[in-house]
Structure 1
Amino acid sequence: MASDTWLAEYDACARLGQTLMENITERNRHNRTSSQYTKLSAQVRVSMKQFTQSLNKLKQNLIRASSSYHITQREVERRQMMMDNLTTKEKQIDQAFKNETIESRSSLMGASGFGGRDPWGVRDEPEEYEGMDNHGIAQQQKTIIQEQDRGLESLSKVISRQKEMAIDIGNEVDIQNDLIDDIGDHMDQTKERLVKETRHVRLVDRKSATCGYWVAIILIFLTIVVILIVPYDGKGV
């Protein structure tokens, strides 16, 4: 069934998200310059693309199932909440992969004019900003913010589609209600005609019975007259 397929695909997507977080955690344990770190980063990138594709497929299938009335409105709302959880998980995975921590943000705010480094060697610089000047660090932060904005824009589009879908469902319900009202009116009219025709049939049947009675009476009367008259004529002869 379609609903079972959707739930199975959701479970698979959720497991993939959990595996991604575990792989990212494992990757972050290694040095950034190590081959293991590079290998795990490549694997995580591929899995992240698969996760995003699975998430988009779930969204599209949910919209189709809702618009075709294969599931109830309550089930649509329940699954939408499940989708929201996956969307949040996607953002967490993206942030974890980029290693966007509070420490890196504070180091950016505290960066001096010496290419983002402490000239006295007192403060340790985060590895992700090593070798960058202020312009490079600002550009990287700008890129991160833009990606976050794109994620919010995608979420906004999903909410807009859900709103449009709800409006379409409401309009379809109104149309169905109008059709039901029309059917009810036709049934009432048909019932009235049926009652009228039944009365007409009964009246015709009653008239037919009365006419039969009169015919029988006339035949009996004629028979009596014939019986009375015929013997009398015989005696006269």
Structure 2
Amino acid sequence: MAPDPWLSMYESTCHTAQEVAEKIQERNRCQRNGESATKLNVSIRSLLQNLKEKTERLKDLLLHSVSTRQITQLEGDRRQNLVDDLLTRHRHLQASFKNEGTEPDVIRSSLMAGGVRQGVVNPWLVEEPEETRGLGFHEIQQQQQRIIEEIIDDITNLVENTDNKLRNQTKRVMTVDRKSSSCATECQSPQSAETKDKKLWGKRPPARIEVPEYHHNKSKGKVTG
């Protein structure tokens, strides 16, 4: 995969900023030793102008990349921070160059920052995860969309499973409640003897059996019916 032109220019600009800091440090040392620093001053002016032009170019390229969506907004913000840092370093180096004979902290900071950046070809790839490394803006968008869809599917399945469990539990509760109500009604409502007889003998009660009465006739000593 071809290197990102913006990142390559950024690395070149960082090296230019470090070179300016080293030249200013060398110029200050020559002045303290009473040596001529004319050539160094000319070189520093040229490098400062080069640093300014490169930084402005980085800013323009970044604006174009963000406006055309060649990079993500997050990456655009991070690159903007790098550009702001370069602009700040340029101002400090410019002030240090005009303030001859001094060696402020910004020179040492620039030298240290340059030393840290040496050997780092692409600072974005160092922090970028394997899943998105080398992908373009649209590819990253598609990957994010797939991840979102997978999350939505998982949530949908979870909701459906929960709904099924709730429906089953509700059915069980309603069944138990129905049986409980039926039992309570039967236990609390006393049945009449007639109702019990109907259950025993059917809908109609059993026929009554007529027993004949016998009368005793004392006068004749006979029993008559």
TM, length-normalised to structure 1: 0.40
TM, length-normalised to structure 2: 0.42
Greater helix content: 1
Which has the higher relative contact order, 1 or 2, with Cα contacts under 8 A spaced 6 or more apart? 2
Structure with larger Rg: 2
